[in-house]
A and B are shown apart, each in its own frame.
Chain A
Amino acid sequence: MSFEWEWFPKLAEGLPLTLQITFSCIAIGIVLGVLLALGRVYGPRFLRGICIVYIQFFRGTPLLVQLFIVYNGLPNLGITLTALQSGILALGLNTAAYQAEYFRGAIQAVRGGQMLAARSLGMSLPQAIRYAILPQAFRLVLPAWSNEFILMLKYSSIVFTVTLLDLMGKAKRLSARDSRSFEVFLVAALFYLVLVFVATMLLRLLENRVRIPGLGAPSQHR
């Protein structure tokens, strides 16, 4: 086994793309995930149905297939996206389905009396959701949501299959050039390990930061 120092800066060139894809798809996932969760919990029957179908589709099919449908398939319908757009969209739509389920669980874990109290003050349903339910649900969901963030950080590596040069894409290229796959991918793994470690620390900081006495320790609510 022998390593080249040169690999480190070369792989590091892929970091910004890995981070961009992760943050973008997570952002899409939060917005869409919250909407899907609200639709499932509070929506009329027909909307609930749509949300369930969406969630089942994206959780029930491989992420790679979803990526190929977006990147290779959509052009057949006249919608051509760049590789980057495709990667972000596919990963975003996918994580939205998972996040929706976590948000739904958290919304349903907020005690029933909170909604009654909000409505009895004269809040409309959207106001009650916004001021009473969601602030609590966000805190309850954080542990599960943090896992999802870490997962997406790692799953973002599949975008190399649509020619993107993220961390994984860079590693693939180096390994082809130097014919030392084992060592190159080991270094790539090290990069991901460090990313995950840093992300875990930051998420834990966030959890402590927004913690409120009596809220957020899931064991008290299950």
Chain B
Amino acid sequence: MLLRVEDIHKQYGKDKVLCGVSFTMNKGETKVIIGPSGTGKSTLLRCINRLTPADQGRVWLDDEELTHTRTNINKIRAEIGFVFQSFNLFAHLTALGNVRIGPMKVKRMNKKDATTLAMEELERVGLSDKAGAYPAELSGGQQQRVSIARALAMFPKLILFDEPTSALDPELIGEVLEVMVSLAKEGMTMLVVTHEMGFARAVADEIIFMENGVIVEQGPPKQMFTNAKHQRTGEFLNKISELYGETG
């Protein structure tokens, strides 16, 4: 088992955002989290790599408890990729600079090796010709692919995606999903918050439906789409299928 999330609780003021979330992931699995906006999906992802501290609950990565206060969280975060909805590429660095800074500064790789590695990762997302471009010179789809390359360059055990295509113009969504699909097929372990049901159908081992800070239901895509146990799950899946279509 690669990731074990156990009974995560998180509260902002009086607002209970996560009320006991537990699930596990095996190496090579892709899981998709869906749920209405404001349900705590982003908060859950951030609790997993402790960008946000959970109030209660524990998380293990490869049998190392990363919620333990003595864990070197920087070392663990280097093993968990994070892809943000708004890309968050470093604005002062080129695409190449963005991808190699992690290996150079966190892993102390020398510049030459880091550059070679970064160019390989840019190639992998189809952007080696944009290595010298700054984020502001790239389309949203290209920025998101660079941010995926940035995560890949750290050789993560797991990548967390927080609505990676929600900020994109519809015509740019496909190029990002394509990269994600090929990663899933290569055996990368991925936890993806998305409403792209085409992606979920194509590569997800499991869909997790969250609402109001709890997991309502989880299961393989086929079962979730055709045979959901909870009425809410079916309703929500129908709604997003209408809203987002089945592309991707």
Min Cβ gap A127→B in Å is 6
Q: Is B225 an interface residue (CB 8 A)?
A: no
The answer on a CB contact under 8 Å between A120 and B51 is yes
Known contacts A119-B51, A215-B92; decide if A131 and B101 are in contact (CB<8 Å).
yes
The answer on a CB contact under 8 Å between A214 and B134 is yes
The answer on a CB contact under 8 Å between B92 and A121 is no
Report the Cα distance A173→B191, complex, angstroms: 76
Q: Is B37 an interface residue (CB 8 A)?
A: no
The answer on a CB contact under 8 Å between B106 and A122 is yes
The residues in B between 79 and 123 inclusive whose CB is less than 8 angstroms from any CB of A are: 79-82, 84, 86-92, 101-102, 105-106
Contact of B92 among A113, A119, A127, A135 (CB under 8 A): A135
The answer on a CB contact under 8 Å between A121 and B150 is yes
Report the Cα distance A199→B125, complex, angstroms: 45
Known contacts A113-B86, A116-B51, A127-B105; decide if A122 and B78 are in contact (CB<8 Å).
yes
The answer on a CB contact under 8 Å between A123 and B49 is no
Report the Cα distance A131→B104, complex, angstroms: 11
Q: Is A60 an interface residue (CB 8 A)?
A: no
Kindly name the residue among A114, A118, A121, A213 whose own CB sees the greatest number of chain B CB atoms within 10 A.
A121
Report the Cα distance A173→B75, complex, angstroms: 65
On chain B, which size bracket covers the interface? Answer: 20 to 34
Min Cβ gap B140→A in Å is 13
Report the Cα distance A95→B33, complex, angstroms: 52
Interface size of A in residues (CB-CB distance below 8 Å):
22
The answer on a CB contact under 8 Å between A122 and B134 is no
A221 nearest in chain B by CB position: B91
The answer on a CB contact under 8 Å between B77 and A121 is yes
Q: Is B180 an interface residue (CB 8 A)?
A: no
Contact of B91 among A114, A116, A120, A122 (CB under 8 A): A114
Contact of A212 among B75, B76, B78, B134 (CB under 8 A): B134
| 0 or 1 for each of A94-110: is its CB under 8 Å from B? (1 = yes) | 00000000000000000
Q: Is A174 an interface residue (CB 8 A)?
A: no
The answer on a CB contact under 8 Å between B88 and A114 is yes
With a cutoff of 8 Å between Cβ atoms, the chain A residues found around residue B173 in the complex are: none
Report the Cα distance A193→B119, complex, angstroms: 50
Min Cβ gap A131→B in Å is 6
With a cutoff of 8 Å between Cβ atoms, the chain B residues found around residue A66 in the complex are: none
Kindly name the residue among B78, B79, B90, B147 whose own CB sees the greatest number of chain A CB atoms within 10 A.
B90
The answer on a CB contact under 8 Å between A127 and B106 is yes
Q: Is A136 an interface residue (CB 8 A)?
A: yes
Q: Is A132 an interface residue (CB 8 A)?
A: yes
The answer on a CB contact under 8 Å between B92 and A120 is no
The answer on a CB contact under 8 Å between A136 and B154 is no
| 0 or 1 for each of B55-93: is its CB under 8 Å from A? (1 = yes) | 000000000000000000011111111101011111110
The answer on a CB contact under 8 Å between A132 and B90 is yes
List 19 A-B residue pairs with CB atoms under 8 Å apart, sorted by A's residue number: A117-B84, A117-B88, A117-B89, A117-B147, A119-B74, A119-B77, A120-B49, A121-B78, A121-B102, A122-B102, A123-B74, A131-B105, A136-B92, A139-B92, A213-B134, A214-B135, A214-B137, A215-B91, A215-B92
**Residues of B that sit less than 8 Å from A by CB:** 49, 51, 74-82, 84, 86-92, 101-102, 105-106, 134-137, 147, 150, 154
**Residues of A that sit less than 8 Å from B by CB:** 111, 113-114, 116-124, 127, 131-132, 135-136, 139, 212-215
